[in-house]
Amino acid sequence: MLVDRIGGPALSLFRAVVGLLFLCHGLASLLGVLGGNQGTGEAVPLGEWPGWWAALIQAVCGALVLVGLLTRAAALLASGSMAYAYFVVHQPDALLPLRNGGELAVLFCWSFLLIAVFGPGAWALDTLLPARRPADSRSVTA
């Protein structure tokens, strides 16, 4: 089917780009690289709630989604963290993302939800690793 041939690679590229951007966002906040946290050049202080923990989720989930490992779980956690960021950090300032600066949180949230629903695509470590299935009890001999 044409959709499977095009959709698999396209979804894989989408997943990889979103994962890379999220990883970079997390590393900027954790390590102060790539412009640092919110362009300050500084890292978020170690253990600070919620910024440091959000950056840790961004870095770990971004890396997992980038390579396509544990993709659905990582994408779901990333999506939830961005929903939290939107409703706790941005939405109290104004209702609409254009007014409250929450466009990036909304885009990441929905992008990761899409990845969690549709999976990693054809080019992912998840598709290369053998699926872990429980042993079939009927095939065991006495």
Residue at 1 is within a domain: no
Tell me what pLDDT residue 1 has: 52
Comparing C-alpha atoms, which of 110, 51, 103, 50 is closest to residue 75? 110
> How many domains, in total, are found in the chain?
1
Residue 24: which domain range? 13-126
Instruction: Look up residue 100 and give its DSSP letter.
Output: H
Measure the CA–CA gap between 30 and 64, rounded to whole angstroms. Answer: 17
Residue at 109 is within a domain: yes
Tell me what pLDDT residue 73 has: 98
Measure the CA–CA gap between 120 and 12, rounded to whole angstroms. Answer: 6
Tell me what pLDDT residue 19 has: 98
Tell me what pLDDT residue 18 has: 98
Tell me what pLDDT residue 142 has: 46
Counting as low any pLDDT under 70, the low residues of the chain are 1-7, 132-142
Residue at 118 is within a domain: yes
Residue at 142 is within a domain: no
Structure-block tokens of residue 47: 């253990």
